[in-house]
């Protein structure tokens, strides 16, 4: 069975988010299908000085409960 399709995604890692922050880009675009891990990761980025500029949910899979969420963050 294709169980990996129904498992929630784990989001990013603190190491990756820290490395991206050190690269110091002007903006980040974070797309996720798991709002819980995305919220956790955005809280991590907030502690690094990032601010959420925009949040846009996108329904790529009509007639399901799945929604992608696009977030733009900047310094």
Taking the C-alpha atoms of residue 23 and residue 71, their distance in angstroms, rounded to an integer, is 19
* Active site (catalytic) residues: 33
In order of 25, 63, 64, 67, the CA distances from 55 in angstroms are 19, 22, 20, 12
Rounded to 5 degrees, φ, ψ at 20 are: -65, -40
């Amino acid at each position: 069975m294709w169980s990996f399709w129904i498992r929630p995604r784990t989001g990013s890692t603190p190491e990756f988010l820290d490395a991206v922050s050190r690269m110091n880009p002007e903006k980040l675009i974070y797309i996720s299908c798991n709002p819980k891990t995305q919220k956790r990761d955005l809280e991590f980025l907030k502690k690094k000085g990032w601010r959420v500029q925009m949040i846009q949910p996108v329904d790529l899979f009509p007639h399901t409960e799945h929604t992608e969420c696009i977030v733009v963050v900047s310094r």
